[in-house]
Structure 1
């Protein structure tokens, strides 16, 4: 690695850390402000609200990557320009293309990091935060670290885990009569939750008090309508953003195979898949702001322009995602088009100023 490359990477890293500290601090503040409305409900305390906010930060880090990448490049190279370092690099024969190449290499490393965060770090933290918040607001422990115990109006349900984030697996249902005596025990391998609220249990074993010691009756399927409370249903309804891309893909395929509406999860999946393209577009947009005017010293104007572009792009992507969900528009087309359009605009801008 050449000396100038190490220097550029160091400047980009410093700027990236500062930008993310500011952005995560801002978004974390708004997140905490929203959680304070529920403080005092059940066992939901300020400490739990702070914990919930902290566990949301990795997801915010991933979502803000395009915006942060744009600001990082503009600030890092803008500071180098204000110190006349870009002029020196140009003077020794370093072309804007080679400087841009260093930036894009750093962008690839950033995308690998963000992919790891949104696949392995953010999902478990978000899911843990949601379980903790729901249990605390409800006022009792309805979820453990890996399983769920739910008290229904006529019994108890134990769910070992949620496959792909939503499908209950390894379920035990204990139903009690008026005198709190066990009337039926049901064990199922999995459950398909229908839009009507009915659970289609698969791989079912049904036992009654008289034959608890026997194998019980086996059924391929059994329809069961749980008498769950709203807070318990919220516990099982994980936000699509809390699922890793692979889990989203599997769940979308599962819903499609069972002719269920998967648009909400399909949009979330393509929002995550479009992230690298949008980030690459932001890196391209940053180049003409700094590289083709190396003597420019008005860093504030450049940062303000980059902030406006980044906020506009972020708001546009969120709006398009909502429109795709509400109107059932093709998710791949809706989520990839903004990134492709931004790449086109950046290339035209580069050609004009270059």
Structure 2
């Protein structure tokens, strides 16, 4: 690493770290203020609130790191411009391409940090923080859903393999922090979407290998003699068959249920897609596709997980033109303010494209990539302008 590269890296790292700490302090204070109304209710103490806010810090780091990188890089470039150091570097044969190359190498490290937080740390700390909060309040994880948690899987002849016999809808009233399901209802339909069984259980515990242990089970099976009629007659009579269905009710102390629904799928189904890793989003999207459910929200979130860290390169490129502006073009504070406005505008445009893309027919890839492409064009245009003037 050259002396100039090391100088750039040290200066930018110090500035980005300072801005990141300032933003994290501000956001932590706002989060703690938002938790204060819940303190003292249902056993939720100030210590629980502080612990919850502390465990949400990794998520805040992931969210504000691109903006902190932009502001920190702009501050460094503005300082180099105000002290004429960047002018001296250019006089010593440093081209714009060389400057971009040095920023790119620094950006690789920051992007790698963002990926580590987004893929490894945040998907673990955010659910754990919610679990701590709900456990302290004595609440169920699915308490925010009025009708409970809903999900769907496919019924197959061999459990997880074989011929598709129909579909099964899960309704769980409460999901406890330890993963146990309370007040479970299973609605089983055949391939013609006729209700064939209603299974109710007080509790359900995952046993591993795609097996749930249901306890205190009441199973109602709907059989239909008209469906046994062969040939075209059966097809004609199916429209009237529901009126002649027979109901068989069986009560069991416990029974095992084989299902592709796992605690991991249940956990991601109730989580904000932005808090999930790309791997979790890919797994859950595949599950939704197999069950013929809407996947666009999760596809957009998947591509955003890939493009948002890479946007750091774009924002650093936007900061480089500030090094070409001399002191007479504005002080460091003005340039930092402009940098903050650019960062805020990027966040707004990114959020806007996410919502518009989900409401329209835009491909998820384009929805996630468009903000970075737009700001990359702005960076290229700004570099072209400062070099010409």
TM-score (norm 1): 0.77
With over 3 angstroms needed to count, the CA separation of the structure-2 counterparts of 1:170 and 1:15, relative to structure 1, is farther
Measured in 2, the distance between the counterparts of 1:248 and 1:36 equals 32
Measured in 2, the distance between the counterparts of 1:307 and 1:296 equals 17
**What is residue 272 of structure 2 aligned with on the other side?**
239
**What is residue 226 of structure 2 aligned with on the other side?**
none
Q: Is 1:46 aligned to residue 46 of structure 2?
A: yes
Q: Is 1:352 aligned to residue 381 of structure 2?
A: no
With over 3 angstroms needed to count, the CA separation of the structure-2 counterparts of 1:275 and 1:160, relative to structure 1, is farther
Structure 2 counterpart SS, 1:261: coil
| Contact in 1 for aligned 2:32/2:49 (Cα 8 Å) | yes
**What is residue 184 of structure 1 aligned with on the other side?**
253
With over 3 angstroms needed to count, the CA separation of the structure-2 counterparts of 1:140 and 1:320, relative to structure 1, is closer
The partner residue of 1:172 within 193, 209, 213 is 213
With over 3 angstroms needed to count, the CA separation of the structure-2 counterparts of 1:247 and 1:60, relative to structure 1, is same
Measured in 2, the distance between the counterparts of 1:125 and 1:160 equals 25
Q: Which runs of 5+ in 2 are unaligned?
A: 142-174, 185-200, 219-250
| Contact in 2 for aligned 1:43/1:139 (Cα 8 Å) | no
Q: Is 1:291 aligned to residue 324 of structure 2?
A: yes
Q: Is 1:158 aligned to residue 202 of structure 2?
A: no
Runs of 4+ in 1 over 6 A off after TM superposition: 233-236
Measured in 2, the distance between the counterparts of 1:107 and 1:310 equals 16
Residue 236 of structure 1, CA deviation = 6.6
With over 3 angstroms needed to count, the CA separation of the structure-2 counterparts of 1:118 and 1:169, relative to structure 1, is farther
With over 3 angstroms needed to count, the CA separation of the structure-2 counterparts of 1:276 and 1:268, relative to structure 1, is same
Q: Is 1:130 aligned to residue 130 of structure 2?
A: yes
Q: Is 1:311 aligned to residue 352 of structure 2?
A: no
**What is residue 305 of structure 2 aligned with on the other side?**
272
| Contact in 1 for aligned 2:217/2:255 (Cα 8 Å) | no
Structure 2 counterpart SS, 1:173: strand
Residue 115 of structure 1, CA deviation = 0.6
Residue 296 of structure 1, CA deviation = 5.8
Measured in 2, the distance between the counterparts of 1:124 and 1:309 equals 31
**What is residue 100 of structure 1 aligned with on the other side?**
100
Equivalenced residue count is 304
1:213-246 per-residue CA deviation (whole Å, 9 max, x = no partner) reads: xxxxxxxxxxxxxxxxxxxx99971222222111
Residue 329 of structure 1, CA deviation = 4.3
**What is residue 207 of structure 1 aligned with on the other side?**
none
**What is residue 118 of structure 2 aligned with on the other side?**
118
Q: Is 1:281 aligned to residue 314 of structure 2?
A: yes
Measured in 1, the distance between the counterparts of 2:36 and 2:97 equals 49
Matched ranges for 1:29-44 at <5 A: 29-44=29-44
Structure 1 counterpart SS, 2:259: strand
Q: Is 1:148 aligned to residue 148 of structure 2?
A: no
Structure 1 counterpart SS, 2:180: strand
CA RMSD in angstroms, aligned pairs only: 2.9
Q: Which runs of 5+ in 1 are unaligned?
A: 162-167, 194-232
Measured in 2, the distance between the counterparts of 1:270 and 1:235 equals 17
TM-score (norm 2): 0.70
